[in-house]
Amino acid sequence: MEFSFDKYFVRQMEIKDLKNIVSNAKNPEIANNNTVVKKYNTLSKAKKYIQKMQEKEENKEGYELVIEGTGSAFGGVLSLHHIDYTKGTGYIGYWLTRDNWGKGIISRAIIHLLPFAFNYLGLKKLYAKTLVTNLRSQKVLERVGFKAVGKGGKSPEEYYFYELNR
C-alpha cells in the first residue's frame, strides 16, 4: 500500500528504515509520547518488528507505513493494525520525527488512510488510543473525526480511547 499527499509519500515500511526507527525510538521526546515506538530501540528489535509487519501486510492483517518528506527524508510512521474483518474493526497508530511535529502531517496522512480502511478493506470502525499527557495526539484524532469514548490504563501510561465509525 502506498499513497501521496502534498509533498509527502507514504509507503510500506522496509528494512532500510531500521536506523531511522531505532534513532527515533531512543529519542525521549518521541518515546515518552508513544508507548509503542520505544519498544524498538535496538536494531534487532526493530528488524523483527518490520519483518512481522511485512507478513501482516501480505495477509492484509496490518499495515505499517513510513511517511517520507521531500528527498526521501524519513518523517514518521502511520499504522493500521489489529484488523478484525469479522467485526469490521481496526486500530490506527502513528508517530512523527520531532522536526515534523505541529505541521499537520499526520492529520493529512490519516485522512488519506481512511478511504483505504473503510472502502477498500471494508472496515466499519477504527479505534485509537493516546496517552492522557499527549495533547497533540488527542487533537489530531479529534481533528480527523475520532470521538473520545473512555479512559484506561495506569499511571504513567493512562490512555484516552477513541473511535471513528464509517
pLDDT on residue 143 = 96
pLDDT on residue 58 = 85
Angle, CA of 156, 29 and 51, to the nearest 5°: 90
Q: By residue range, what is the domain housing residue 90?
A: 3-123
Q: What does the buried/exposed string (b/e) look like for 50-80 if buried means 16 or more CB atoms within 10 Å of the residue's CB?
A: beebeebbeeebbbbbbbbbeeeebbbbbbb
In a domain, 95, yes or no: yes
pLDDT on residue 42 = 81
pLDDT on residue 146 = 98
Return the SS3 of 79: strand
Return the SS3 of 59: coil
Return the SS3 of 26: coil
pLDDT on residue 157 = 80
Pairwise CA distance, residues 75 & 69, whole Å: 6
Which grid cell sits at 122? 471494508
In a domain, 157, yes or no: no
Per-run averaged pLDDT (10 residues), the chain, 166 residues? 89 90 87 77 84 86 90 86 96 92 94 96 96 93 97 84 96
pLDDT on residue 71 = 66
Q: How many domains does the chain have?
A: 1
pLDDT on residue 33 = 81
pLDDT on residue 59 = 85
Return the SS3 of 146: coil
As a dihedral over the C-alpha atoms of residue 98, residue 125, residue 115, residue 110, rounded to 10 degrees, the angle is -10
Can you give the pTM of this predicted structure?
Answer: 0.89
From 166, 26, 39, select the one nearest 93 (Cα to Cα): 39
Pairwise CA distance, residues 90 & 121, whole Å: 10
CATH number, domain with residue 56: 3.40.630.30
In a domain, 131, yes or no: no
In a domain, 136, yes or no: no
